[in-house]
Chains A and B, each alone.
Chain A
């Protein structure tokens, strides 16, 4: 009876949110959990309850997997908006549950979950498959460090859950030695884009059992790569599903003999496509259907926000603060583009979640990669502009290339008059919106 009331309340609250033109993904779940904190334990779930978590790539994996499942004709319950906290998960599930039978109406429940939110969301035994993309340095003020994140993820996971792990991540590889029965691994074989020795700090550099320094054959990025302990058996070793022949120029890779097309020509797209493939195989989708979903009826990629300024293309790469790898991926993307480039860098707030001003993560980003002839100018904006300028000076970038913008209103004119080439903004979410507005004002001004 109580659960029936909670489901009704959730549906009603969602309706009210929509009437007031709010998206209503978090509030209804939040309201219900105040009344019935463990409401999700009373729902009748479908055969597959798949959770995707990790420091990055969760949303892209869920979108790709949902697409493959839908191509296979499955009724998938998932949230395309990407809300990944417990309250949003509660809203999603209750709104798709029959009010009286408490049965979730779908074949597969597919959830993107924040790595701190799995604990406490469900009782043990509900999640059937847990996919972990990677665990890297991310929001240290909230997450402390990657080891602490893994501890949080594992707290409430029971022995029956099927773990799908990124074997290229030495932290996740530790789980292979815990004696859990159902584990499937995925990974990327050595690629032509790999690096021999990163210039940034590498986590989990040592073997957890014998404390010898791990030997890497190559690094994909961060601490992800092909590694082994020189003394004991701890290693990436054989993986169940391995991507080979990665070719970002062509936008393809191979799994065994099948060529797979990427929906975005970036390295991390190989990971989310591979994980979606792996998960589809685990739950028994037909090979032909999977390949059809990947190669024929391709999922449209979330396009990077694209604008132009006097015939110069502007690509807006959103980089996640407090996550060095997010910035490194943006830098690599820019570096691999042809022609002269102008870069915009900066943020107004370190975090959207809290007011801490820890800038340590700036020193884990390999800004040295921007020390490149193709970079014409780097415009530095936002409240932390001097801190960013210091970091770029330490990367030995030519001081004449560093353009400090004191007044944001002048940014577009400064770019227009003092730089060349396509423009790449590598900023956090808050600043993307500000730059979009500045571009719009500029365009409106010209039209008037």
Chain B
């Protein structure tokens, strides 16, 4: 029987501040280009989420109010989420939703918000907002084949005391088994197709499927055009 990959887009209507729908659409399209069927379920606090049912979970960025709304819902599933991660299910978590998987968020007024405590790190609210283009190097990708990650950051918390294995040399990301977490915002899977291949290669391995990147599509052309314009030639006029 042919395999169908199921994606859960978690809190699609609350954690969607920066065009994050693009990530789920890219994941689906890249999977389908492999000739594998893919189904996406959009899930939120009104749904009962069965963590055993899905192969890939995606969660994006949201405003602080929404972050705390979903945190109370996430608590209900803490054990299920922990088990899914330990069982090697694939999680792609971007933006401030990564904060929720750490121990706590220390907010400016001194209050600590307890998070899921699945990973050993804290988030600390910064004095001012952190907003910047980022060009990180991903250690696990080759030069000329997506090593330069095109990303954007727009958040008000720093990740600290992060002792987990990282994909990039800064503190704001982690890789544990098939959990890929980073505080970048926006459609990073669209803008970094090689990185999307990297995530999906690992997903396909867990499902005993072969993944062969299809690099002749416009996403790759857009990536190289941007890297040439803005990273290699520093064309900021």
Contacts and interface: CB of A to CB of B under 8 A. Distances in A.
B41 interface: no
B33 to A, nearest CB: 12
A394 B189 CA distance: 13
A339 interface: no
A213 B46 contact: yes
Contact of B221 (A147, A363, A386): A386
Q: What DSSP secondary structure best describes chain B's contact surface?
A: mixed
Given A145-B63, A363-B21, A358 B186 contact: yes
A357 B152 contact: yes
A144 B129 contact: yes
Interface string B1-42: 000000000000110111111100100010000000000000
Interface string A114-147: 0000000000000000000000010011001111
B132 A356 contact: yes
Nearest to B72: A211
Interface in B110-160: 129, 131-133, 152, 154, 156
Contacts of B132: 356
Contact of A390 (B18, B19, B129, B218): B218
Contacts of B199: none
A61 B5 CA distance: 50
B19 A361 contact: yes
Interface string A367-400: 0000000000000000111110110011000000
A356 B19 contact: no
Interface stretch (A182-190, A199-207, A413-421): A199-207
Nearest to A389: B218
A364 B186 CA distance: 10
Interface stretch (B79-87, B168-176, B224-232): B224-232
A201 B154 contact: no
Interface in B32-58: 44-46
Given A383-B229, A390-B218, A360 B187 contact: yes
A205 B156 CA distance: 22
A61 B141 CA distance: 52
B107 interface: no
Nearest to A142: B131
A390 B156 CA distance: 30
A22 B46 CA distance: 57
Given A211-B69, A394-B29, A358 B152 contact: yes
A255 interface: no
B167 to A, nearest CB: 20
Contacts of B74: none
Contacts of B63: 145-148
B25 A394 contact: yes
Contacts of A232: none
Contact of B225 (A202, A205, A359, A386): A386
Given A201-B13, A205-B13, A355-B236, A360 B18 contact: yes
Given A140-B154, A147-B65, A206-B69, A356 B219 contact: no
Given A141-B154, A356-B131, A360-B18, 4 more contacts: A141-B131, A144-B156, A361-B18, A394-B190
